[in-house]
């Protein structure tokens, strides 16, 4: 018996917690939430618990597989960053083979759940999203800040996946929701990159739009994308997806996002970036739920 066991200092690993971290459960849940809401926004689709559950499970498996691939690729860099050092691969609690097996099994099951229970258009978009996130965006993060642009595509595809699950012809509503989530990601992700700039720099990630890191240029870019969200936020109303109340809610959410980015430009500190970050977390559910409330109302 080794010394650690004699002293009881080495507790048994919690496998459930390890898989929870491997698939980045909270992030995956947020992603799949947008997919489910967009599915329910499709004209003619009514709430059905089984359908929602199947889309949720399929989406969680595909998203979890993509996040596992991300951690496999970034095992070494995760190990040197404070916020990721405790992940199962980075800490050595899980082997690469185990993580790879999980990602393959989860991806296959998730894609087939979506394909068999909804349609293969939604399943195909899911597979494309996983590929783009895991094999293009992930390695690109160390090469060029354009990775944020590339990553915004799989980041917004859950909206299109959800819409395609109810409308495989991919009507205009799905593309509007995709566009909203696509442009939302820039101030959202740059705020995260600003807050975690020291860690990201240590790991060799290039994610802010300025080579100098957290600069006025980066703040201006966040403002510009927030400005673009304002006319985009009007599109649901223009195409009959939104009523007056939900249009006003979306407009206010966009103005608040813009104001927080302007404050970041004025204050230029982590505290202001954190406000943008947390504000962006609230933004998406407010916008999507206001649209859903309009449809259900």
- In this predicted model, what pLDDT tens digit does every residue of 88-103 receive, in sequence order? 999 989 999 999 999 9
The dihedral over CA atoms of 128, 36, 207, 204, expressed in degrees to the nearest 10, equals -70
Task: With CA atoms as reference, report the closest residue to 91 among 105, 76, 103.
Answer: 76
Q: What value does the CA radius of gyration of the chain take, rounded to a whole number of Å?
A: 20
Q: What is the pLDDT of residue 13?
A: 56
Planar angle of CA 24, 25, 31, nearest 5 degrees? 95
The yes-or-no verdict on residue 212 having pLDDT over 50 is: yes
Determine contact, residues 226/268, Cβ cutoff 8 Å.
Answer: no
The residue among 9 and 198 whose pLDDT is bigger is 198
| Distances in whole angstroms, Cα of residue 3 to Cα of each of 13, 263, 265 | 17, 54, 54
**Could you tell me the pLDDT band of residue 7, with boundaries at 50, 70 and 90?**
very low
Using CA atoms, how far apart are residues 249 and 251, in angstroms rounded to an integer? Answer: 5
The residue-averaged pLDDT of 5-29 equals: 74
Indicate the pLDDT class of residue 205, thresholds 50, 70 and 90.
confident
Give the CA angle between residues 114, 287, 277 to the nearest 5°: 95
Residue 1 has pLDDT above 70, yes or no: no
Confidence at 196, pLDDT banded by 50, 70, 90: confident
Which tens digits make up the pLDDT trace of 97-135?
999 999 999 999 999 999 999 999 999 999 999 999 999
Alpha carbons within 13 angstroms on the beta-carbon side of residue 95 total 3
């Amino acid at each position: 018996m080794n010394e650690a066991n004699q002293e009881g200092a080495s507790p048994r690993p919690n496998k459930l917690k390890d898989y929870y971290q491997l698939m980045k459960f909270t992030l995956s849940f947020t992603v799949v939430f947008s997919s489910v809401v967009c599915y329910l926004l499709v004209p003619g689709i009514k709430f059905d618990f089984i359908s929602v559950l199947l889309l949720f499970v399929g989406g969680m498996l595909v998203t979890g597989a993509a996040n596992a691939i991300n951690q496999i690729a970034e095992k070494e860099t995760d190990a040197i960053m404070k916020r990721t050092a405790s992940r199962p691969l980075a800490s050595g609690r899980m082997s690469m083979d185990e993580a790879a097996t999980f990602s393959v099994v989860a991806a296959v099951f998730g894609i087939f759940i979506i394909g068999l229970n909804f349609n293969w258009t939604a399943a195909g978009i899911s597979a494309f999203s996983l590929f783009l996130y895991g094999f293009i965006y992930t390695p690109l993060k160390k090469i060029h800040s354009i990775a944020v642009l590339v990553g915004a595509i799989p980041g917004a595809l859950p909206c299109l996946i959800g819409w395609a699950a109810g409308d495989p012809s991919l009507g205009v509503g799905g593309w509007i929701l995709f566009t909203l989530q696509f442009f939302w990601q820039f101030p959202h992700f740059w705020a995260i990159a600003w807050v975690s700039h020291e860690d990201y720099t240590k790991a060799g990630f290039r994610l802010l739009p300025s080579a100098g890191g957290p600069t006025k240029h980066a703040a201006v870019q966040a403002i510009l994308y927030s400005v673009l969200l304002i006319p985009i936020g009007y599109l649901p109303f223009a195409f009959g997806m939104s009523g007056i109340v939900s249009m006003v809610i979306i407009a206010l959410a966009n103005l608040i996002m813009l104001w927080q980015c302007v404050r970041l430009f004025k204050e230029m500190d982590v505290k202001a970036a954190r406000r943008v970050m947390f504000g962006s977390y609230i933004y998406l559910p407010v916008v999507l739920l206001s649209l859903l409330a309009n449809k259900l109302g």
